Amino acid sequence: MNDLHSLAGEYAVGCLTEEETTEFESHLATCPDCREEVAEMRDIAVQLSKAVAAEPPTGLRASVLAKISQTAQDAPAHAGVQPARQGDEAADPSEHSEAPGVHVGGSAPAASNVVPFQRRTSSTWVAGILAAAAVLAAIAMGGWAVSNRDDARVSTAQNLQLTHLLTAGDVRTASGQFSGGGSGTVVLSASQHQALLVAADLPELPSGQVYEAWTITDSTTPAGTFTKGGSGTIVSLPPAAVDASAVAVTVEPEGGSDHPTSKPLFKVGLPTA
């Protein structure tokens, strides 16, 4: 019916029927020229989509993140046309934290030279609201992993503490993004002399490193170390935090530091009471 080689453009703009799409995709598996053309055409289609870019509804991010936290992922594909990256062949891929199925060799070189923790340039109050919404959604679903496995009671107590705080008459919150990914909200109440940092979607740190919170007044004071929890982490801050002007988080060597030794990944000013 059709010369399959000439269908790349139509395939990329998605105007083939379902049957034609299936047929062309089996052709793709055996035709490197078409694969290359499709890759190029798809990039043009991406440009077309950018021409109609629109701000998604504000709640969508939180609901997407909540949804995926409950969704299992597929097994990596092994039958790819390209070999897996070096060192992946022998090992069971399910035990890898990296994904061997994501083939990024050949024309698109493996991006291992991209520094994983990069600063985000956007940090708005909208993001903060969304972060708080994501955190609350995660709590509502009971999806909190126990961040300190040694003492599950700590986690339960923190959840209760958070509930009390959120219902305090003088509750204050401040939200922001972590520059390496993830978001955080400081929740505090002067009347209750309590402050918590609630963080979601933080990246796992390399072993030997921990997140460390700081309260900033005239000086910078250590406010506890923590590691990434499951879908969220609650950190109890010292009561003095209610008088602080800002809360920050840095990455420090295991055990924590007395003074920050790296630039803050996260810093929010606290609203005055």
Partner 1 sequence: MPSIAMRGTCAVLLLPARRGTVVAMRSSTQSNELAELLRRVAGGDQGAFATFYDSTARSVYGIVLRVLRDPAQAEEVTQEVYVEAWTSAPRFDAELGSPTGWLNTIAHRKAVDRVRSSERSLQREQRHFESGGSPQASVDTSDIVVALDEGQRVRQALEQLPEAQRTAVHLAYFEGRTHREVAEFLEVPLGTVKTRIRDAMKRLRNHLGEAAS
Residue 45 tokens read as: 């289609």
DSSP single-letter state for residue 232: E
Three-state SS at 52: coil
Q: How far is the CB of 220 from partner 1 (least distance, A)?
A: 25
Q: Which is nearer to partner 1, 36 or 258 (CB)?
A: 36
- Report, in Å, the least distance between residue 126 CB and partner 1: 12
Q: Which is nearer to partner 1, 113 or 219 (CB)?
A: 113
Nearest CB to partner 1, comparing residues 76 and 238: 76
Least gap, CB of 195 to partner 1 (angstroms): 23
Among candidate residues 146, 118, 263, the one with its CA nearest the CA of residue 203 = 118
Query: Using CB under 8 A, which residues numbered 82 to 101 contact partner 1?
Result: 82, 96-99, 101
Q: Please state the closest distance from residue 165 (CB atom) to partner 1, in A.
A: 24
136, two tokens: 């609350």
- Of the candidates 176, 179, 171, 182, the one whose C-alpha atom is nearest the C-alpha of residue 227 is 182
Among 17, 30, 207, 219, binds partner 1 (CB under 8 A): 17
- What amino acid occupies position 74? D
Find the binder of partner 1 among 144, 158, 176, 180 (CB under 8 A). 180
Q: What is the CA radius of gyration of the chain?
A: 24
How many binding residues for partner 1 (CB under 8 A)?
A: 85
Query: Which residues in 221-240 contact partner 1 (CB under 8 A)?
Result: 228, 231
Spatial distance between the Cα atoms of 59 and 57, rounded to a whole number of angstroms: 6
**What is the x/- site pattern for partner 1, positions 103-122, by CB under 8 A?**
xxxxxxxxxxxx-x-x-xxx
Q: Which two tokens stand for residue 264?
A: 């803050």
Considering only CA atoms, which of 246, 250, 243, 244 is closest in space to residue 226? 250
Distances (CA, A) of 205 to 86, 124, 171, 208, 223: 24, 25, 31, 8, 19
Helix (H) or strand (E) holding 64: helix 60-68
Give residues 28-87 in contact with partner 1 (rule: CB under 8 A).
Answer: 28, 35, 38-57, 60-61, 63-65, 67-69, 71-77, 80-82
Is residue 207 a contact residue for partner 1 (CB under 8 A)?
Answer: no
Q: Measured from the CB atom, is 17 or 207 closer to partner 1?
A: 17
Cβ distance 129 to 175 under 8 Å? yes
User: From the CB of 258, what's the least distance to partner 1, in Å?
Assistant: 28
- Geometric angle at alpha carbon 58, from 57 and 63, rounded to 5°: 95
Question: Applying CB under 8 A, does 9 fall inside the site for partner 1?
Answer: yes
Place of tokens 């035990």: 95
The residue within the footprint of partner 1, chosen from 5, 22, 33, 102 (CB under 8 A), is 102
Stretch that binds partner 1, among 12-20, 189-197, 218-226, 257-265 (CB under 8 A): 12-20
What distances in angstroms separate CA 136 from CA 107, 163, 234, one per listed residue? 43, 10, 12
Residue closer to partner 1 by CB (options 12, 268) is 12
7 touches partner 1 by CB under 8 A: yes
Q: How far is the CB of 107 from partner 1 (least distance, A)?
A: 5
